[in-house]
Structure 1
């Protein structure tokens, strides 16, 4: 098994967060050292060829363009590869998790299926939170949205500030003309 952060072994129904550099991949632990996860075909190539930087960035871009994903049942070590992971039942404080046997049953029933995929509305994190809590959510997408909204507000503020400076400069020129 790949390195586990905080040294805790997963239990069936736990969510597994895998750290892959600029983003996290998510899976649900089903026992027997196996997970179920949803993965677009382009991201699957990252698993098959870990560490190839040129492939990494082109695959990451194609993940953003994927509209379908395969639900796979695999060994934890195959999915995690050289990366680290942790158990992250991220919504346990907000939502009651479904019983582990139901999470595992429903996850296993989906294995092998081809499902719609959208990085913003139906990604691997949405997939596993739906299984565990009955509620699809992605904090990763929410955080990215907050960052993008913050950047948009900052850009708008800069434009408005520049506009005020420009208007102030015009007013100063007018005053000098009439003095």
Structure 2
């Protein structure tokens, strides 16, 4: 944690063993996020299922973080105008309980979070060149 308190609409970056998980802070200690590739909240050191359908959940930030380190990281604010916090939070709440397609290269949890904050999905974690055969990934260091 960087010492600051998150504000509604902030992007939360959670440092897992070999990847970063992303969520959107929606206030009162809660985040909305797209579950990771294995459908769990674990800090797993392997990513086995890079493509599939995953749930959008609203959970307590500290429950999602568990023992991992995290920070507020509104990574594109310097070059992009974030949407108003009330719009981000409203859109995030609309997605809670839905199932979204998950693809580690084309639509992962970072894409989900940046789409809510900025209106378009982007991820810096895994370049498309890292995709292996059949969309599987060869991950040594995803960033």
User: Which range, TM-score by smaller chain?
Assistant: 0.7 to 0.9
Q: TM-score, normalised by structure 2?
A: 0.84
Alpha-carbon distance in structure 1 between the residues aligned to 2:36 and 2:89: 21
Q: Which residue of 1 aligns with 2:114?
A: 129
Decide whether the 8 Å contact of 1:17 with 1:87 is kept in 2: yes
> Residue 49 of structure 2 aligns to a residue in which SS?
helix
How far did 1:43 drift? 4.0
Q: For the aligned residues, what is the CA RMSD?
A: 1.9
Q: Which residue of 2 aligns with 1:38?
A: 34
Decide whether the 8 Å contact of 1:15 with 1:128 is kept in 2: yes
Alpha-carbon distance in structure 2 between the residues aligned to 1:41 and 1:61: 7
Matched residue count: 131
1:111 aligns with 2:107: no
Q: Which residue of 1 aligns with 2:124?
A: 139
> Residue 7 of structure 1 aligns to a residue in which SS?
coil
Spell out, residue by residue over 1:127-178, the C-alpha distance to the aligned partner (whole angstroms, 9 max, x if none): 0000000110001123x748x9xxxxxxxxxxxxxxxxxxxxxxxxxxxxxx
More helix by share: 1
> Residue 126 of structure 1 aligns to a residue in which SS?
helix
How far did 1:61 drift? 2.9
Gaps of 5+ in 1: 51-55, 149-179
Q: Which residue of 1 aligns with 2:13?
A: 17
Alpha-carbon distance in structure 1 between the residues aligned to 2:97 and 2:68: 24
1:67 aligns with 2:52: yes
Bigger relative contact order, structure 1 or 2, given CA contacts below 8 A and separation 6+? Answer: 2
Decide whether the 8 Å contact of 2:53 with 2:100 is kept in 1: yes
